[in-house]
Amino acid sequence: MKHLGTAFFALGLLTACPAQAESWTCTYPGFSPNRQAITIKFNSDGDDLVEQQVGEPKFHIVRDNSLAIVAVYTGAISGTTGVRIWGSVILIEKSTGKFIYNRAQIGIQPSYAEGLCTHNDD
């Protein structure tokens, strides 16, 4: 009976672990006027999708399953230049690598880019 309790405890630890970390390299036309291509690497880190190069922003993962990753980054701050309210969404379709990056900020024209991601097997 003692071993059965230990087995259930170990099983509980295994099921409580977060999903396995994933890494994606995504390329899309940048948001600058010339739309120069941007390549960025994202790593999943618990509940966040993090840009590896700079560690920010951290997009909060709201959906991660066998089909897709959907992550958001939002903010609302007040500073010396006034109030800034923004939101960004990252969509990655896992089977095809299709990638969409939407950015919106009050007072600035929203930005939209489509690209492709490859899953990194590191």
Closest by CA to 102, choosing from 89, 93, 117, is 89
Are 61 and 49 contacting, i.e. CB atoms less than 8 angstroms apart? yes
**pLDDT tens track for 25-49:** 999 998 888 999 999 999 998 899 9
The predicted pLDDT at position 42 comes to: 94
Q: How does residue 121 score in pLDDT terms, banded at 50, 70 and 90?
A: confident
Task: Tell me: pLDDT of 13 over 60.
Answer: no
What are the residue boundaries of the structural domains of the chain, listed by start? 20-120
Closest by CA to 100, choosing from 84, 111, 87, 85, is 111
Residues 67 and 25: their CA atoms lie apart, in Å, by 17
pTM of this structure: 0.78
Task: Tell me: pLDDT of 117 over 60.
Answer: yes
